[in-house]
Amino acid sequence: MTQPPHGHWQQPHQPYPPQQPYDHGWQPQPPQPQNGMGTAGFVCSLVSLAVGFLPSWLSLIALPLAILGVTFGSIGYGYANRGMANNRGLAQSGVVIGIIALVLMLSGVIIMLVS
Q: What is the pLDDT of residues 74-84, one digit of tens each?
A: 999 999 999 88
Angle (CA) 31 79 94, round 5°: 105
Comparing 1-15, 75-89, 97-111, the range with the smallest average pLDDT is 1-15
The pLDDT score that the predictor gives to residue 76 is 95
C-beta of residue 70 within 8 angstroms of C-beta of residue 99 = yes
The pLDDT score that the predictor gives to residue 19 is 72
In angstroms, the first-to-last Cα distance of the chain is: 116
The pLDDT score that the predictor gives to residue 31 is 64
The pLDDT score that the predictor gives to residue 44 is 96
